[in-house]
Amino acid sequence: MDPITFLTQILAPALWKGLIVTVALVVLTAPFGLLLGTGLALGRQYGGRALSTACSGYIVFFKGCPLLLLLFILYFGLPSLGLTLPAFTAAVIGFILCNAAYNSEYIQGAVASIKDGQMTAAQALGMTRAQAIKSIILPQAMRRAIPGLSNEFIYLIKYSSLAYMITVVELTGAAKIAATRYFMFNESFFAVGIVYLALVTLTTYAVGRLEQRVAIPGMGVKT
């Protein structure tokens, strides 16, 4: 088969399907990863000793556990304990657990960087600690965490390819199947590389726009 026919007739439709799965993995993971990461960061920063230790333990565990191993445990290991997850679900859960651990580090760093006076002033006005965290601390900290969180989001796009190892045919998996079947490795992986590059470039652009949009005038955030 000539390369042009392969790319247009075989690879492109396969990558399109794979892209949809990759985007679904990322879109389902990111919000929950952010939410859980925020909870872990706040638990560590403001929780009592027990909660703070539990959050730290979670983070150490999931940062230390190779993601592939985690996916294997969720997909291949849990059925022996009587819990069988569909491959896609196992992948999303694994990504959320891992993504949240890294997100929490960026968020906690950002929360810790907010001057104590902000919390003090909020409490002096009669806000409870929870109100102050929600209305004063997090809106500022999240702005500061955007660069770190966006890096993590880009990693997520790329490590979503590990889902293929537990049979989820996403972008890399689709390319691998087409490459193997038609013995067109260079064409397949070069093409899929371009798709990832496009996804990451798009994300970088979107994050830049977001940073500009939420920038606080006079605070020296580059515009």
Partner 1 sequence: MTGEYILRVEDIHKKFNDREILRGISFNVKKGATIVFIGPSGTGKSTLLRCINQLTEPDRGKVFLDDEEITGCGSRISGYRQRIGMVFQNFNLFDHLTAVENVEIAPIKVRKMKKEEAHAKAMEELHRVGMADWAHHYPAELSGGQAQRVSIARCLAMDPEVILFDEPTSALDPELTREVLEVMKDLARSGMTMLVVSHEMGFARSVATEIIFMEGGRIVEQGSPLEIMNNPKHPRTREFLGRIEHT
Stretch that binds partner 1, among 37-45, 84-92, 110-118, 190-198 (CB under 8 A): 110-118
CB 107 within 8 A of CB 37: yes
# chain residues binding partner 1, by CB under 8 A: 23
Q: How far is the CB of 136 from partner 1 (least distance, A)?
A: 5
Nearest alpha carbon to residue 26 among 155, 143, 142, 145: 155
Residue 197 binding partner 1, by CB under 8 A: no
Q: How far is the CB of 212 from partner 1 (least distance, A)?
A: 15
Residue 89 binding partner 1, by CB under 8 A: no
Nearest alpha carbon to residue 25 among 102, 107, 99: 99
Residue 149 binding partner 1, by CB under 8 A: no
Residue 101 to residue 144: CA distance in whole angstroms? 18
The binder of partner 1 chosen from 35, 124, 206, 210 (CB under 8 A)? 124
Residue 72 to residue 81: CA distance in whole angstroms? 14
Residue 118 binding partner 1, by CB under 8 A: yes
Cα dihedral 44, 47, 53, 57 in deg (nearest 10): -50
Residue 17 to residue 21: CA distance in whole angstroms? 7
Residue 136 binding partner 1, by CB under 8 A: yes
The binder of partner 1 chosen from 50, 186, 219, 223 (CB under 8 A)? 219
Q: What is the C-alpha R_g of the chain?
A: 21
Of the pair 87, 142, the CB lying nearest partner 1 is at 142
Q: How far is the CB of 118 from partner 1 (least distance, A)?
A: 6
Beta carbons within 10 angstroms of residue 205's beta carbon? 10
Residue 140 binding partner 1, by CB under 8 A: yes
CA angle 186, 192, 198 (to 5 degrees): 135
Q: How far is the CB of 112 from partner 1 (least distance, A)?
A: 16
Q: Which residue has 């993504």 as its token pair?
A: 99
**Burial classification of residue 78, based on how many CB atoms lie within 10 Å of its CB (0-12 exposed, 13-18 middle, 19 or more buried):** middle
CB 155 within 8 A of CB 162: no
Q: How far is the CB of 49 from partner 1 (least distance, A)?
A: 19
Of the pair 2, 116, the CB lying nearest partner 1 is at 116
Of the pair 5, 131, the CB lying nearest partner 1 is at 131
Residue 120 binding partner 1, by CB under 8 A: yes
Residue 123 binding partner 1, by CB under 8 A: yes
Query: Residue numbers of the site for partner 1 (CB under 8 A)?
Result: 115, 117-118, 120-128, 131, 135-136, 139-140, 143, 216-220
